[in-house]
Amino acid sequence: MLDRPTKQQNPGAVSAALAELTALFGNRLVTSLAVREQHANITTWHPVAPPDAVVFPQNTHDVQQIVRICAGHRVPVIPFGTGTSLEGHTNAPFGGVSIDLKDMNRILEVHPADFDCVVEPGVTRKRLNDELRDRGLFFSVDPGADASLGGMASTGASGTTTVRYGTMKDNVVSLKVVLPNGELMSTARRARKTSAGYDLTNLMVGAEGTLGIITELTLKLHGIPEAISAAVCRFPSVDAACRAAITAIQSGIPMARVELLDEMQVRVCNAYSKLNLPEQPMLFLEFHGSEAGVAEQATRFGELASEFGSAGFEWTRGTEDRTRLWQARHDMFWAIASYRAGAKVVVTDVCVPISQLAECVAAARKEIECAGLIAPIVGHVGDGNFHASLMVMMDDSGEVARAKAFIERLASLAIAADGTCTGEHGIGEGKKHFLLPEYGEAAVEVMRTLKHALDPDDIMNPGKVV
């Protein structure tokens, strides 16, 4: 098992804080072990570290009250969205209070003329898009899971559409954040750009709840394209698929999605999603635009792919076929989880400059094979981000050790290629030690200084990031 941090917690302070919270929130404060464990980490191999209690606020004022009480007793607070993060973000290694934001799920405003909306953090991306569809609008960031928008902002999420529409950092206009002292801060106005002062919005996006708790988001929206087409393109090797995707981007083909699956991932998807795809490396693609535009984009990509030995290029504009294809992509975690009975799925990600992608993926595959691990590879190859999903038998100490060593090696390979140890999963508990080799001491010290200045008592999601 991975090492678990230790920190002195005052039981009397916790009891006093919970007594005050119970007086205010009644049965919206829950201390049962089952609920507390549900709010700890469950999607990877970090040891489950439940909080002392879970509280369910219904508005920003509730969150302020919770934070002020906890701050008064120096009790940690850990924000919780839907629990789909992958690096132990919702664990409570030092105890404390989990703040579950699921009841803060109102879509407050939609401004079609400005292509933006204002939402509470518990709204999920699918629900937002369901509400926006009749207005001809959509929110673009798609991490796969139906995550909460507050959680997506907090972890700096991205996903399948990043190649065209960008990450959460590109799609959050402003935030309202409850700071560690309980004060409420607005990070910006609704204007699409500003040069006034520090960029507080992007300081909070990706801070993983260590600097404050997001209670409201203003998000950029996009118009639903006139036409959408999806395609599957097979290749003789992962290297050929990567190089085709890189060349397409360099050639200016405006792909909305371009996802790599190695042959093992295709096999897993076929078994779980009842597909019948040839078990070869392939790209899932999607094109957005006018009817003529998407046809031209698909044709251009097909011609380019043939130069890299593409064995087949099939595309469709049918909504049902397209939805089935991308649902299989979104179900990959659960597909992998069901593939090797008894194994724990450990998903790790890195991101490199796209010119280094093919070499890094090849190196990752070689490392997996040399370590005797079972791990399909899938990636958002349009932005250089890829994932290895290890299926690890946790009762096999040798296999666990080899998996840990692989994750370390992969992150080091990415950093050596001038990339990052995580493109979208975040640092959480699991990757803190990579910040120093990635950024250097000076930058990490600035992060520590910011954390201490805003949160001197270290109550905001302690044990994460820095």
Backbone φ and ψ for 325, nearest 5 degrees, come out as -65, -50
| Mean per-residue pLDDT of the chain | 93
pLDDT band at 119 (very low <50, low <70, confident <90, very high): very high
The stretch 146-163 carries a mean pLDDT of: 94
The stretch 119-138 carries a mean pLDDT of: 97
Q: Which of 195, 192, 161 is nearest to 424 (CA)?
A: 161
pLDDT digits (tens, 9 = 90+) for 15-50: 999 999 999 999 999 999 999 999 997 677 888 899
Backbone φ and ψ for 108, nearest 5 degrees, come out as -80, -45
Residue 1 has pLDDT above 50, yes or no: no
Contact yes or no for 233/285 (Cβ under 8 A): yes
Give the Cα separation of 222 and 112 in Å (integer). 9
pLDDT band at 6 (very low <50, low <70, confident <90, very high): very low
SS3 assignment, position 206: coil
Hey, what CATH topology would domain 340-439 get? Alpha-Beta Plaits (3.30.70)
Would you say how long the chain is, in residues?
Answer: 466
pLDDT digits (tens, 9 = 90+) for 61-118: 999 999 999 999 999 999 999 998 889 899 999 999 999 999 999 999 999 999 999 9
Contact yes or no for 324/270 (Cβ under 8 A): no
227-332 and 340-439 agree in CATH topology: yes
List the structure tokens of 241: 């698929």
Residue 184 has pLDDT above 50, yes or no: yes
What pLDDT sits at residue 3? 40
Where do the structural domains in the chain lie, given as residue ranges?
A: 11-102, 107-223, 227-332, 340-439
List the structure tokens of 332: 């990959």
Q: Which of 177, 41, 15 is nearest to 464 (CA)?
A: 41
Hey, what CATH topology would domain 107-223 get? 3.30.465
Residue 275 has pLDDT above 80, yes or no: yes
Name the helix (H) or strand (E) containing 184: strand 184-186
The DSSP letter of residue 381 is G
Architecture of the structural domain at 227-332: 2-Layer Sandwich (3.30)
Query: How far are the Cα atoms of 187, 288, 350, 453 from residue 414, in angstroms, in the given order?
Result: 32, 31, 6, 31
Direct distance between the N- and C-terminal alpha carbons of the chain, in angstroms, rounded to an integer: 21
Hey, what CATH topology would domain 11-102 get? 3.30.43
